[in-house]
Chain A
């Protein structure tokens, strides 16, 4: 059973309006597969009925569950390795040399998913920054309330800790809590969470020394990417650092950045 074209475009419009995520034609199968569990949970007979109900009388909860079902939350610890090792070996040391001793170092994980990214940043800070757990403040935001709640809880399944978390870090920063693993209170205290839609206006945050905006720009069209990169820059210190995902770049999108090589990876720095 495949999704009617009108239903697909209704969902695609809704998702784009709410999250800026672009679902291009050809993704009907994805929409159908992701929305079926949502329909079941809300007692609709199928995806068509869910869409029909939402179209007739849109309500916030249904809209939110449709959008959340269509976002990809895949993430892992130390994702791609290099950006995080460079954070520890070049970025934090340079910031420590440039900032006065009492000054906080602020890091933003701008699409934090279930929390692996902000807590990876926290673990690295606690290794390389003296008194790192109090000196470094991490702001973790995501569109999805569910992801923000998970980040705040700081609890991860065995399968999640198996995905790229170095064993020495696991034993140092986590304890078992039933079938799950829980981050230490010290690490959790570094991370402040909140929902934030990158495609909408931002409150004043930061200013940030480092921003991780990884594996999220890929879902947006070029004007949205431009808008986001501009707004992110406005939240950064002039000598700050931006990390993007391995398949993302500012090149050809937004001229306000200088790309700098860091080992085998690269980061972006605002151009004054």
Chain B
């Protein structure tokens, strides 16, 4: 493992997001969430689509020997659809902005929690945040794109060098 010599590594703290949480792991966790929370037959297709101009993101931080962030990004309409699907038959007729923020944020939270559990050392999760623009990501930003009902859904995992 000669790369270790060039990177400032102690344990996992110097590893990149893609090394710690490779694409297939991110997909596996996301697929479980979609199948149980969004619907039995709902799939994330591993394909690139067009990310619309106006997007909404939800993110959680991972704190431990490795500090990172997991960001979920999609269009505002897909975030609303996801929230509706998450609530199954229990969604109110009109979902307000707060409902969508909460529902979409919870998806990011569950995704972050599932990924956090796969890290080699114990870590904790920060509470989810939702906004139009996630904090700038580090140089090891690792993007996993999918299509859900024809809309692009991105998961970005990255290291965060400074406290969240």
Contact = CB atoms under 8 A, between A and B. Distances in A.
Interface of A: 157-159, 176, 178-179
Interface stretch (B5-13, B29-37, B68-76, B147-155): B29-37
In this complex, the interface size class of chain B, counting residues with CB under 8 Å from chain A, is: under 10
By secondary structure, the B interface counts as helix
B25 interface: yes
Nearest to A157: B32
Nearest to A178: B118
B153 to A, nearest CB: 19
9 contacts: A157-B32, A158-B32, A158-B114, A159-B35, A159-B36, A176-B117, A179-B32, A179-B114, A179-B118
B47 interface: no
B28 interface: yes
Given A179-B28, A179-B29, A179-B114, 12 more contacts: A157-B32, A158-B32, A158-B114, A159-B32, A159-B35, A159-B36, A176-B117, A178-B25, A178-B118, A179-B25, A179-B32, A179-B118
A262 B123 CA distance: 47
Interface of B: 25, 28-29, 32, 35-36, 114, 117-118
Contacts of A178: 25, 118
A158 B118 CA distance: 12
8 smallest CB-CB distances across A and B, nearest first, come from A179-B28, A159-B32, A158-B32, A159-B36, A179-B29, A179-B25, A179-B118, A178-B118
A190 B117 CA distance: 29
B120 to A, nearest CB: 11
A176 B28 CA distance: 15
Contacts of B114: 158, 179
Nearest to B35: A159
Contacts of B35: 159
A176 B114 CA distance: 12
Contacts of B29: 179
A158 B37 CA distance: 13
